[in-house]
Homo-oligomer: A and B are copies of this chain.
Amino acid sequence: MKLYTNPASRGQIVSWYLHELGVQAEEVILDFKAGEHKAPGYTDKFPFGLVPSIEDGDLRLFESGAILLYLAERFPEASGVTTTEQRALAAQWVLFANATLAPVMFIESVRDTTLPKVFSPLDKVLADREYLEGGKFSVADLAVGAYLTYMPMFLPQVDLSPWPNVVAYINRISERPSFKATSGSPEVTNMAKEMAEKRAAAAAAKE
């Protein structure tokens, strides 16, 4: 299996899941500055130039969330996702992460008003369970947790104290060795710190 990725992309989430599953993949780092992800060598295979993507035999797949769901189904013993119902719930949380949670975090113009509408119910959900489905860490936690761990990394200015169960969950997820080795690696953390500082400087310059 080949993973096309870059540290500044959601490819880190896929690397993290591969690590959790104990699956080895050949990682091909695309040089974003050189535009490798928008050059014919890549877009001939992946027309939208989106990263990450994978090749597994004849299958070519983009969209990080779809790759997570594929990996869960491809390695059922390691993922614990074996039934139609479990796949449906995995898809629910992956879609929730990518289509509901990510927008409220990253669309700055609406963050203050929309983020509590998602974080408050999430805090209630996490009040009586450590993990989202089945009592143990699964692809659902990886997908949702990936975005939540972005909060302290990329949005350190947001006060999370109204949602203590979310904070505890972020800490729980962040302690996973597979997270530390991939999405939470010093490389990604430093990159996030630089981005946060640049944004703060830009905001200060505007005032």
Contacts and interface: CB of A to CB of B under 8 A. Distances in A.
B65 A88 contact: no
Interface string A94-116: 11101110110001010000000
A84 B100 contact: no
Contact of A95 (B66, B100, B103, B121): B66
A73 B87 contact: yes
A84 to B, nearest CB: 5
A187 interface: no
Report, as a range, how many residues of chain A touch the other chain.
Answer: 35 or more
Given A65-B91, A121-B48, A59 B85 contact: yes
Nearest to A89: B61
Interface string A147-158: 000000000000
A107 B99 CA distance: 13
A189 B136 CA distance: 44
A69 interface: yes
Contacts of A65: 91, 95, 99
Contact of A50 (B64, B73, B94, B100): B100
A70 interface: yes
B88 A121 contact: no
B63 A91 contact: yes
A171 to B, nearest CB: 21
A82 interface: no
